[in-house]
Amino acid sequence: MADAKKQVHIVLVHGACHGAWCWYKLKPLLEAAGHRVTAFDLAASGVDKRTLEELRSFEHYSEPLLDFMASLPPEEKVLLLGHSLGGMNIALAMEKYPEKIKVAVFLTAVMPDCKHDPSYVLKQDVALGIMLARPCCMFVHDLSKQSAFTEDGYGSVKRVFIVCPEDKAISLKFQRWQIETCGVDQVKELENSDHMPMLSQPQELCQCLLEIIADYYA
């Protein structure tokens, strides 16, 4: 059990076509370690009653996360983790609420920079583009109309990237390219992990996150 003074609030953001359900193995492990964990469905995902046709923009899709971040008390600084396309959701939250985030963790995730519009990173990998071409995942047009994230917002938050070398959806090459192009404060790697380490390697992922907590909440 973690010391009460060091209890961390961990916010888990799922990727495209998933929901809060995908964290069902990881969440109890982190809670058993003494931390507070929040996982929820983004708009039109999981049990959220909205439909894809109702969503007007990527920000609308991200509304549950943004509303949650707005509700946090001023003194609280969460560990914000995004998986896969969830990396773009947490980037938006980082831009709007950098003061409420201690560290952002990109779990084999999409990770934008501060030079190009947010859609740029989504267009750089053919396999990723094919995956995101499904109607339930496609916000590229909307993101292409948005300004680049800023250094004062998104760029001011500490970033950790967790590499999953056996990922077939977001390739190792593309993960490495994002790290080199966008820059991060720390790189971690889950050996032999695939695109869904929260399901295939929950113990290892939990340990990785506990190490990140030790590094950034000491």
Q: Catalytic amino acids?
A: 84, 167, 195
Instruction: Tally Cβ neighbours within 10 Å of residue 54.
Output: 10
H/E stretch holding 58 reads helix 58-61
Phi then psi dihedrals of residue 38, to 5 deg: -120, 130
User: How far is 185 from 78, CA to CA, in rounded Å?
Assistant: 17
Query: Residue 151: is it exposed, middle or buried by C-beta count within 10 angstroms (0-12/13-18/19+)?
Result: exposed
Choose among 51, 16, 21, 25: nearest CA to 209: 25
Burial state string for 72-106 with b = 16 or more CB within 10 A and e = fewer than 16: beeeebbbbbbbbbbbbbbbbbbbbbbebbbbbbb
Opening angle at CA 199, ends 179 and 26, nearest 5: 85
User: How far is 110 from 64, CA to CA, in rounded Å?
Assistant: 19
User: How far is 181 from 201, CA to CA, in rounded Å?
Assistant: 28
